[in-house]
Amino acid sequence: MSIQEAQVSRADFDQVMVPNYAPAGFVPVRGLGSRLWDQSGRELIDLSGGIAVNSLGHCHPALVEALTTQANKLWHVSNVFTNEPALRLARKLTDATFADRVFFSNSGAEANEAALKLARRVAHDRFGDDKYEIISALNSFHGRTVFTVNVGGQPKYSEGFGPRPAGISHVKFNDLAAIEAMMSERTCAVILEPIQGESGVLPADQAYLEGVRALCTKYNALLIFDEVQSGMGRSGKLFAHQVYGVIPDVLTTAKSLGGGFPISAMLTTEEYAKHLAVGTHGTTFGGNPLACAVGEAVLDIINTPDVLAGVVEKGEYLRQRLRELGAPHDLFELVRGKGLLVGAVMSPAYKDQAAALMAAAEREGLLVLVAGPNVIRLAPSLVIEKADLDEGLARFERAIASFVAQHAPA
């Protein structure tokens, strides 16, 4: 029996994998649309979307077709060459956004690394060595490289890895006065998520984003929007900053861009892109023909009026139903988000018990997420069928009942 055919189980994880994850006790083996099946044949409704990655659900036929067609043509040629899928996808992304230029990589962290390096390079070339400071938001998340994890405003992820890169500051999200007090002529960039994802699905205020945009212009600092989680239709617009009408200098996206295939992109204007001249930055697999072929298929489906309108409609329905399901138990203090990126904040009586509710949902055959200890997060397929959404909500209602029975305050 070959190693591919050998029987494996969740127990094998604890024997062969680095223990930086604590995966669920079951192993998914097959997916179709918004449903998953595990090794025992159990079916689950997936409202987690692979943490906002499976933008079109599992095994969408258009993505399967794009991948298999490209797999029979060309897999990899290195960045010594360009390739047709990368050029087509780049053209479609620039046509749909403020940007003129695209840099492809493989993960959100890599896209943010490129954006931050670009900001420092622009500042260095134009203003000299002293303009290198980066401002980020507390509780933000921008990736797991040494650079990006320190730019992210969550010390629990960055502590214990040696000296931190210099010139990085953090201020409270949605606090314009705080960011104004921090900015100076030394600031080269401000990086923000228009909707903070990992910290609890917290949308930015309109006036806040507008004010930050003005401050960046005033201080000749690049405004970077990290739309790794909020981008690619998740908000009901192709990118969440389009909901606000605030235009960044640099945009990063990943997750949903590949619909499950690893790909990310940094987008910027001609004015700034020229500072990444030949040899200044690179990646082995970025712009891979397989990834870009899938990304193009994802973009072609999502960036249509019907799909984007459906995201808005289904998002409003989902938030309202969550409020209704939680109301009899005073379970949620607030249900927030935009489009199909939804956060349900646990009420004070159930503070920090989101993980227990997520576990109850899994026992009912439903996959949801948490965003910190106090928020249930949902990021389903952008094209989820109403029947699947309703079935998922019915299972969540049963999960709430069992959770409350065990965890209701005395």
Each residue of 175-229: pLDDT tens digit?
A: 999 999 999 999 999 999 999 999 899 999 999 999 999 999 999 999 999 999 9
pLDDT for res 164? 93
> Does residue 82 surpass a pLDDT of 50?
yes
With CA atoms as reference, report the closest residue to 309 among 237, 384, 389, 246.
237
State which amino acid sits at residue 132: Y
- Domain ranges (residues) in the chain: 10-59+305-407, 74-302
Interacting residues of 252 by C-beta distance below 8 A, sequence separation 6+: 108, 111, 112, 114, 115, 224, 225, 226, 227, 228, 264, 265, 266, 267
End-to-end CA, the chain: 56
* Three-state DSSP state, 109: helix
The number of beta carbons lying within 10 Å of the beta carbon of residue 281 is: 17
Q: Are 301 and 56 in contact (CB under 8 A)?
A: yes
**What phi and psi, each to the nearest 5 degrees, are found at residue 370?**
-115, 160
> Does residue 21 surpass a pLDDT of 90?
yes
With CA atoms as reference, report the closest residue to 157 among 141, 177, 181.
141
> Does residue 237 surpass a pLDDT of 50?
yes
CA distance 372 to 354: 8
pLDDT for res 4? 56
With CA atoms as reference, report the closest residue to 389 among 309, 327, 311, 333.
311
pLDDT for res 6? 72
pLDDT exceeding 70 applies to what percent of the chain? 99
State which amino acid sits at residue 287: G
pLDDT for res 5? 63
Chain-wide mean pLDDT for the chain? Answer: 96
> Does residue 12 surpass a pLDDT of 60?
yes
CATH 3.40.50.980 is right for the domain spanning 74-302: no
**What phi and psi, each to the nearest 5 degrees, are found at residue 287?**
80, 20
The number of beta carbons lying within 10 Å of the beta carbon of residue 162 is: 5
Q: Per-residue pLDDT averaged across 251-257, rounded?
A: 98
Does the annotation mark 130 as catalytic?
no
| DSSP notation for 299-357 | HHHHSSHHHHHHHHHHHHHHHHHHHHHHGGGT-EEEEEEETTEEEEEEPGGGTT-HHHH
Which residue is catalytic, options 255, 261, 338, 403?
255
pLDDT band at 392 (very low <50, low <70, confident <90, very high): very high
pLDDT digits (tens, 9 = 90+) for 122-162: 999 999 999 999 999 999 999 999 999 999 999 999 999 99
pLDDT for res 28? 96
Q: Per-residue pLDDT averaged across 88-97, rounded?
A: 98
Does the annotation mark 403 as catalytic?
no
pLDDT for res 2? 46
The number of beta carbons lying within 10 Å of the beta carbon of residue 292 is: 27
Tokens of 40: 């025992």
Which residue is catalytic, options 226, 261, 338, 396?
226
Judging by DSSP bridges, how do beta strands 366-367 and 375-378 pair with one another? unpaired
Q: Are 336 and 295 in contact (CB under 8 A)?
A: no
Q: How many degrees, rounded to 5, is the angle at CA 66 between CA 64 and CA 71?
A: 95
Does the annotation mark 226 as catalytic?
yes
With CA atoms as reference, report the closest residue to 315 among 233, 246, 252.
233
Same CATH topology for 10-59+305-407 and 74-302: the answer is no
* Domain 10-59+305-407: CATH superfamily, name plus number: Aspartate Aminotransferase, domain 1 (3.90.1150.10)
> Does residue 3 surpass a pLDDT of 60?
no
- 200 to each of 262, 293, 332, 335, 380, how far by Cα in Å? 24, 32, 13, 10, 16
* Three-state DSSP state, 364: coil
Q: How many degrees, rounded to 5, is the angle at CA 114 between CA 112 and CA 118?
A: 115
pLDDT digits (tens, 9 = 90+) for 43-80: 999 999 999 999 999 999 999 999 999 999 999 999 99
Judge residue 209's burial from the number of C-beta atoms within 10 Å of its C-beta, 0-12 exposed, 13-18 middle, 19 or more buried.
Answer: buried
Q: What share of the chain is helix, strand, coil (3-state, %, to 5)?
A: 40, 20, 40
Which residue is catalytic, options 104, 141, 225, 332?
141
Interacting residues of 163 by C-beta distance below 8 A, sequence separation 6+: none
State which amino acid sits at residue 404: V
pLDDT digits (tens, 9 = 90+) for 325-344: 999 999 999 999 999 999 99
CA distance 371 to 196: 10
